[in-house]
Amino acid sequence: MKAAVIHAPGKISCDTVDDPVLKDSTDILLKVTATAICGSDLHIYSGGIPQPRPMVLGHEFMGIVEEIGKEVKNLKVGDRVVVPFPIACGHCFFCSHHLPGHCENSNPDHYGPEGGLLTEKGGALFGYTDLYGGYDGGQAQYVRVPYGDVGPRIVPDNLTDEQVLFLTDIFPTGYTGIDWGNVSGGETVAIFGAGPVGIMAAKSAWLRGAGRVIIVDTQQYRLDMAAKAANAETLLWEGSSPKDVIEQIRAVTEGRGADVCVEAVGFEPDRSFLDRAKAVINLEKGSPKVIEACMSAVRRGGIVSVLGVYPTTYDNFPLGQFFDKGIIMRGGQAPAHKHIDKLLGYVQEGKVRLDDIITHRLPLSKIADGYSMFKNKEDNCVKVVLDPWAE
């Protein structure tokens, strides 16, 4: 089959690899009909999250069931399904507490309670390095899906692939940020990052009754997309300091700050040379500057939801500000399984549209172009969807 294989930082190609096979009686094999590049994939592509051996990437995918293990009861060959990005057994302590990203059984080689940099990680993720299970991902023509009765959801016939593809990750992730923020009606929500997750968080904020939704980004074209697709107010972060946007957020909230701030960028934001030099001196990977901006922009007693990936430690974390302002902070892998059924219902009822952020559609053979364009913010790229079967 054809698959997107990462070989080294900055080097990904469409290779011919062996077809996957069932390895467990609860597995299914999926013929992938649509897949996408996620901002989290860029952390592997950039080398920010290490992957020493070649691996098939991709955790946003859907398709048609080709084969099922003998213990799979909820699916049959021919079903069209969408698959949430965590790999979860469905019955361990964390799965039973709606925390599939912390599944105790899906990542046996690297799982542990510590949550360390290179050891004792959480549950497995599709196509997301050996640290998170080593499972090949769905940027491919076929993919093996463990625990077939737990993750995959059958897609209604009246919905297209593109209408539901983002139920895999970015819509549940964006919604999680708003859910963690306890948005229930009238709140001012400030979202840092106008990429796909940030825009989905904005759409989710409206679904939860927010009174005002503001998105901050360093790229005007992404803000234009956020205004169009999510009806959000936009603020352009110019220069290395977020001071101006923080002051603007306070100015429209009677000096208090936003009720909820959502961090939707991660540890590899746009940075100046001085920012990069500081990280080298501090032996840090990337920068926590966006979290720090959220902590300044949120009101006292407010909530900061961290959706961006942060794989390392930061010694200069503003703990004093966190304490003085009484900030509530929550972050981590989104519990996609917890929300996917409700969110699929929103899509089916026409309460939200997901496919309006797609800017590029490419065949899988153009995977290298897709990654380069997305990472380098070329051609106003916001979201790339891939067809594994197109020539």
Mean pLDDT of 152-159: 98
- Tell me how crowded residue 302 is: count the other CB atoms within 10 A of its CB: 25
Residue-level pLDDT at 272: 54
Residue 379 has pLDDT above 90, yes or no: yes
**Alpha carbon distance 128, 56 (integer Å):** 9
| pLDDT tens by residue, 235-261 | 999 988 999 999 999 999 999 999 999
Residue 281 has pLDDT above 60, yes or no: no
Residue-level pLDDT at 114: 95
Percent of the chain's residues with pLDDT above 90: 91
The CATH fold of domain 2-169+334-387: Quinone Oxidoreductase; Chain A, domain 1 (3.90.180)
Look at residues 86, 110, 279 and name the one whose alpha carbon lies nearest to residue 172. 86
Residue-level pLDDT at 311: 86
The owner of tokens 């897609």 is 155
10 Å CB burial of residue 90 (0-12, 13-18, 19+) is: middle
Least confident interval from 173-177, 285-289, 370-374: 285-289
Residue-level pLDDT at 38: 97
- The pTM (predicted TM-score) of the whole model is 0.95
Residue 283 has pLDDT above 60, yes or no: no
- Give me Rg for the CA atoms of the chain: 20
**Alpha carbon distance 183, 206 (integer Å):** 9
Residue 355 has pLDDT above 60, yes or no: yes
Residue 276 has pLDDT above 60, yes or no: no
Residue-level pLDDT at 273: 42
Residue-level pLDDT at 286: 77
> For 383, which DSSP code?
-
217 vs 48: which has the higher pLDDT: 217
Residue-level pLDDT at 280: 45
Helices (H), the chain: 39-46, 93-96, 161-164, 170-180, 196-207, 220-230, 243-251, 273-281, 289-297, 319-325, 336-348, 367-375
Least confident interval from 141-145, 230-234, 263-267, 340-344: 263-267
Residue-level pLDDT at 82: 98
382 and 357 in contact (C-beta within 8 Å)?
yes
Residue 371 has pLDDT above 70, yes or no: yes
Residue 271 has pLDDT above 60, yes or no: no
| pLDDT tens by residue, 184-207 | 999 999 999 999 999 999 999 999
The owner of tokens 């990680």 is 121
Q: Whole-number mean pLDDT of the chain? A: 95
Strands 258-263 and 11-16: unpaired
Strands 298-306 and 258-263: parallel
Residue 18 has pLDDT above 90, yes or no: yes
Question: Domain 173-331, CATH 3.40.1130.10 — does that match?
Answer: no
Residue-level pLDDT at 313: 86
In the structure, what pLDDT confidence band is assigned to residue 278 with cuts at 50, 70 and 90? Answer: low
**Alpha carbon distance 336, 87 (integer Å):** 10
Residue-level pLDDT at 357: 98
Residues paired with 36 in a beta bridge: 60, 385
| pLDDT tens by residue, 296-318 | 999 999 999 999 999 888 888 99
- Tell me how crowded residue 343 is: count the other CB atoms within 10 A of its CB: 25
Least confident interval from 210-219, 304-313, 327-336: 304-313
Contacts of 246 (CB under 8 A, 6+ apart): 257, 293, 296, 297
Domain spans of the chain?
2-169+334-387, 173-331
10 Å CB burial of residue 305 (0-12, 13-18, 19+) is: buried
